[in-house]
Structure 1
Amino acid sequence: MNSSSPELRRITQSRVLPAPRFRYTPAIQAGAFVFVSGLIGLDPTTGELAASGAAAETTQVLKNFRLLCEEQGWSVDRMLIARVFCAGDGVAAEVNAAWDVFFADTEPPCRSFMVVKELPLKAAVEIEFQLLA
């Protein structure tokens, strides 16, 4: 079996996520695990970054992730970890506020939070996800 065998790895196509602007795979399922590339807060309809800062971007990322899960038949409740990247250290409170609203009715997953110098398209927030299919 080679590494591109569908039994080992399945590339996931999505019609609900904004189209990638760079060369990468938005999501890959490997066995029982799904790995979702870092998402920034792009509106899937307009392709524009959510206005109003880190809270709005975080909300849009989480909405996009939920749409992807619904499209693929996955469950947000099966998220194992989210890795949050923020451009600058002054946005943590905004990210946390949006995060708390999204997970108000369920236990949130494990989470890492990293501050970076810059993100694609001048985004304030990027989040990647790992979940069980």
Structure 2
Amino acid sequence: MPRTIISTPNAPSSPLYSQGVKAGPQLFLSGIVGIDPTTGTLAGETIQAQTRQALTNCQAILQAGEATLDDVVEVGILLTNPTDFTALNDEYARWFPTNPPTRYVAKLGVDLPGLLVSIRMTAFVTPPAFR
């Protein structure tokens, strides 16, 4: 099955990975962090600020792939500090207030200075004619 690389300047990028890849009706987002794409720096020092920015970045990639948060079927979250779980949930619930997608949360295995969260998603993109 052919794949399409999804890219947007409205989210952080790297030459080492694609922001998103679309294969058929599925859209896969890489682990996206809370870096503000306009400044190139982390959006803040709190889990809430970084989660908010990471989800904003994910939303921008979804949009570039013709999807929305409503199309997300699975979310994977990696936390630097497991003690941030409750505060993460507080921000996350604002983005998925009802009928949330499946989700897992695990400990981030790499130590990157200041980085608190990485979020990846999978969406099932409904063709516009069927929406």
Q: TM-score surpassing 0.5?
A: yes
* Partner deviation per Cα, 1:14-63 (whole Å, 9 max, x = no partner): 2211232x511111111110110000000011010111311111111111
Q: What is the deviation of 1:12?
A: 1.4
Runs (4+) off by over 4 Å? none
2:36 alignment partner, SS class: coil
Distance 2:21 2:64 in 1: 14
Moved more, 66-75 or 22-31: 66-75
1:114 corresponding residue in structure 2: 106
Q: Does 1:26 align with 2:19?
A: yes
Any residues of structure 2 matched to 1:63-82 within 5 Å, and which?
63-82=56-75
The alpha-carbon distance between structure 1 residues 97 and 63, as it changes in their structure 2 partners (threshold 3 A), is same
* Alignment correspondent of 2:128: none
* 2:118 corresponds to: 126
TM-score between both structures, scaled by the size of structure 1: 0.85
Cα distance in 2 for residues equivalent to 1:54 and 1:47? 17
Taking the aligned partners of 2:94 and 2:44, their CA distance within structure 1 comes to 18
Partner secondary structure for residue 15 of structure 1: coil
Task: State the partner residue of 1:91.
Answer: 84
Helix, strand or coil for the counterpart of 1:113? strand
Spell out, residue by residue over 1:74-116, the C-alpha distance to the aligned partner (whole angstroms, 9 max, x if none): 1210101000000121110111000011123x32111001013
Aligned pairs, how many? 125
1:50 and 2:43 matched: yes
Q: CA deviation at 1:71?
A: 3.0
C-alpha RMSD of matched pairs (Å) = 1.6
Extract unaligned runs of 5+ from structure 2: 126-131
Q: TM-score, normalised by structure 2?
A: 0.86
- Looking at structure 2, the residues matched to 83 and 95 of structure 1 have their Cα atoms a distance apart, in angstroms, of 13
